[in-house]
Amino acid sequence: MSRAEIEALVRDGEVIGADRAWTGIDLSGADLSGGIFDGAGLVGCDLSGADLREALLHGVRLDDAKLAGATLAKASFHGCAMSRADLSEADCTGWNITGSGLRGADLARAKLSEANIVQCRLTRASFAGASLLRATIVQCRTDGIDLSGADCTEAALVEADLTRAVLQGTRFLRTNFVKATFAGMDLRGFVAALCHFNDCDMTGCNLSGADLTQAVMAKVKAAGAVFEGARMARAVLLDAVLAKAVLRRADLTNAILQGADLAEADAAGATLVQAVCVGMTAPRARFNDCDMTTADLSHAVLDGADLTGATLSRANLHAIRDAGARIPDRRHALPPDHDRTEAEQWQQRFA
């Protein structure tokens, strides 16, 4: 069947099915917009520059197909096989693809703004230099994915394993990571200001010098992680696990560490000015030479902690636990708040 005949079938709304093989056919530049493909075999086809906008593809085999520069805007793909497909520089704006295999696919420099990629296999797929503005990648296999130089502004990556991902030069801004895994990665100099890391695993990561300004890292697991010299001003580390983490010279100005676990952490020389550390658990942690000016350490657990040389000017040490702690200079901290103590214990009077 010729290109013209296939284009005519698409124009007439006919379903392109599995009744015949189209393997290797040249459809470069073809107008297939709005087409319906159900089970069609397009393995190795040349669809370079083809127009597939708003097309519906179900169970289509596109392994090794050439889709470079093609238009897939607002198209919907489900259950398609696209291993090693070439989608470089394709326009995939608003593309919806679910349950499909894109192993080793090339999406370098593709436009994927507002695309939805759900439950797909992206093993070793390349998104190098691609635009993923407000795109969502949900529950996909992402081992070995290449995001180098990609723009992930306001994108969402849900349940992604990024431990073997290539992230050099990737732009993360207001990006949402949900239950993503970074464990053990070398992320020195990582730039992720204003990003959200909800319930993510950063155990053992090296984030030295990272920019995590105003990042939301609620319930993040970062035991043993290195944040030395990191910029974390106004970061939200609510209930974060930072046991044995290294936070030396990190800037945590105005950060929220309420309920965080810093057991045996090393935060020597860190800046915690106006930080909210209410209920923080930090036994045997090191806060040597920290600036804790006006920090709120109410109800913090500091048993065995070392605050030698720490600046505690107007810091709130209300009801802290400090058995065996070294806090040589409390002279400039706020005085005990007896009224607050009485208010917090009101129930005991009626027990």
Does 9 score more than 70 pLDDT?
Answer: yes
> What pLDDT digit, counting tens, does each position of 132-189 carry?
999 999 999 999 999 999 999 999 999 999 999 999 999 999 999 999 999 999 999 9
Residue bearing tokens 């520059």: 49
Contact predicate 70/46, CB 8 Å: no
pLDDT at 188: 96
Give pLDDT, residue 135.
Answer: 98
- pLDDT tops 70 at residue 32: yes
What digits encode the pLDDT tens for the residues 292-313?
Answer: 999 999 999 999 999 999 999 9
Q: Using pLDDT thresholds of 50, 70 and 90, give the confidence band for residue 339.
A: confident
Report pLDDT digits (tens) over 269-295.
Answer: 999 999 999 999 999 999 999 999 999
Q: Count other C-beta atoms under 10 Å from residue 128's C-beta.
A: 20
pLDDT for position 351: 63
Contact 101, 122 (CB under 8 A): no
pLDDT of residue 21: 72
pTM across the whole model: 0.93
Nearest to 160 by CA among 146, 179, 176: 179
Binned at pLDDT 50, 70 and 90, residue 346 comes out as confident
Provide the CB-side half-sphere exposure for 225 (13 A, CA). Answer: 29
Name the band, by pLDDT with cuts 50, 70 and 90, for residue 44: very high
Q: Give the CA dihedral 246, 248, 250, 253, nearest 10 degrees.
A: 100
